[in-house]
Amino acid sequence: MSDLVMVVGIGADGWAGLSAAARRELHAAEVLMGSARQLALVPEATAERVAWPSPMLPALPALIASHRGRRVCVLASGDPMFHGIGTTLVRLLGTGRVRVLPHPSSVSLACARLGWAVDRVEVVSVVTRPVESLHAVVHQGRRVLVLSADGRTPARVAALLAARGYGGSPMTVLERLGGAGERVIHGTAGGWSLPVAHDLNVVAVECRADAGTVPLPCVPGLPDEAFEHDGQLTKSEVRAVTLSRLAPVPGELLWDVGAGAGSVAIEWMRAHPANRAVAVDSHPERAARISRNAAGLGVPGLNVVTGPAPAALAGLEPPDAVFIGGGVTVPGVVEGCWEALRPGGRLVANAVTVESEAVLASWHGELGGDLVRLAVSRAAPVGGFTGWRPMMPVTTWTAIKPVEGER
């Protein structure tokens, strides 16, 4: 029992809101860990109190190990397994050493106050992520709950929505949910006037697009105009086909090599919140542009690596899929990507020049896969009429790396 870490969820109502089981665990604890605010909510506990150091996560393993053999109880806000310390402790110690007693989460409490169905709400935590993560879920008619980092988050959310063309969206800030000082503040994103709220708050948004705001779809093939670029951009139609060949699966990692504007990596990450990507480009200006595009399209967690491939690929986590948008003629690029690719992973490479086509044809001959040529024409004015303007044809090679034992 001494090796078991208890994690108790607690709300803003403190001791009064705890269940009998939670109170028993706190009374029995020899060591009580939590933030200073959480520890202050438990006046009746007699255990040794340990406030989290800052930063907490790097110090957590040694801190838990230093109290091994004692009854340790960790306090968490609300549901410890919902963006909470409970998930961190399970990863660190394993499920056998952690027991969790949850409290209603801030999401459950907020939906109860608002009359919203929990299963129909998008939830975005900006506690440890940039507020730009919100871009990925802003769509007409959607309801969104933002878990705030601090009291300035509501104003940042309002500014982001207004700049995105959703200034008319109703906003509600719910402070200290469940506590004696609970307060609810209403307004709209465009007219938000509260610069700082209480640090303990949740922001509720009903997304309403302003007139003329162009929606961004969830499927691959965003309009080219959605990206800042210098011409090095995988065009919308080709990008949609490329993403279908890359076949994103939740939780997988993509390398986007010769990323240009980063459009393929960004759309890969937009396909599912758990997806990750590394965008590699040798030009510092393009690398900075990729980061701006990623933030503006709701995936600020995109890892941008500046440097020439294949050297820049050294040390990166092996990918589940690779897209080579530029640099297939550079010696070692295709080889390096193929060698790093996990078994069963997909490699997709595009070519627009005769020389790069020849490289892909050679690799197709060696490794097999699919070789496809895409030809797209867009309607454009021809005098007083309309004609077809062809884009440069794109050759796409797709190969799946065999799993061990396959031929």
CA angle (397 as vertex; 395, 401 as ends), nearest 5: 175
Three-class SS state of 333: helix
| Confidence check: pLDDT of 264 > 70 | yes
Whether CATH 3.40.1010.10 fits 5-103:
yes
Q: What is the pLDDT of residue 404?
A: 78
Q: How confident is the model at residue 46 (pLDDT cuts 50, 70, 90)?
A: confident
Domain boundaries, the chain: 5-103, 107-207, 224-401
DSSP string, 215-274: PPPSSS---GGGS--SS----HHHHHHHHHHH---TT-EEEEET-TT-HHHHHHHHT-TT
The letter for the amino acid at 329 is T
Q: Tens of pLDDT along 335-358?
A: 999 999 999 999 999 999 999 999
Q: CA–CA separation, 133 vs 341, rounded Å? A: 28
Q: Tens of pLDDT along 207-260?
A: 999 999 999 998 999 999 999 999 999 999 999 999 999 999 999 999 999 999
Whether CATH 3.40.50.150 fits 224-401:
yes
Q: Are 39 and 132 in contact (CB under 8 A)?
A: no
Question: Average of pLDDT values for 307-316?
Answer: 96
Q: What is the pLDDT of residue 74?
A: 96
Cα 204 to chain centroid, rounded: 19
Q: What proportion of the chain, given as a percentage, has pLDDT over 90? A: 92
Question: Average of pLDDT values for 296-317?
Answer: 97
Q: What is the pLDDT of residue 1?
A: 46
DSSP 341: S
DSSP 29: -
Q: CA–CA separation, 34 vs 52, rounded Å? A: 6
Question: Average of pLDDT values for 80-94?
Answer: 94
- What CATH class does 107-207 carry? alpha beta
Q: What is the pLDDT of residue 2?
A: 60
H/E stretch holding 99? strand 98-101
Instruction: Tell me which of 45-54, 304-313, 359-368, 376-385 is least confident.
Output: 45-54
Q: How confident is the model at residue 370 (pLDDT cuts 50, 70, 90)?
A: very high
Question: Average of pLDDT values for 102-127?
Answer: 96
Q: How confident is the model at residue 361 (pLDDT cuts 50, 70, 90)?
A: very high
Name the H helices within 306-349: 333-340
Q: What pairs with residue 378 in β-bridges?
A: 389
Question: Average of pLDDT values for 51-70?
Answer: 92
The letter for the amino acid at 253 is L
Cis peptide before 195 (omega within 30 of 0): no
Provide the angle, in degrees to the nearest 10, between the axes of the packed helices 333-340 and 354-367: 40
Instruction: Tell me which of 48-57, 166-175, 251-260, 293-302 is least confident.
Output: 48-57
| Confidence check: pLDDT of 102 > 60 | yes
Q: Tens of pLDDT along 321-334?
A: 999 998 999 999 99
| Confidence check: pLDDT of 45 > 80 | no
Q: What is the pLDDT of residue 406?
A: 58
Average pLDDT, the chain: 95
Q: What is the pLDDT of residue 148?
A: 96
Q: Do domains 107-207 and 224-401 have the same CATH topology?
A: no
| Confidence check: pLDDT of 190 > 50 | yes
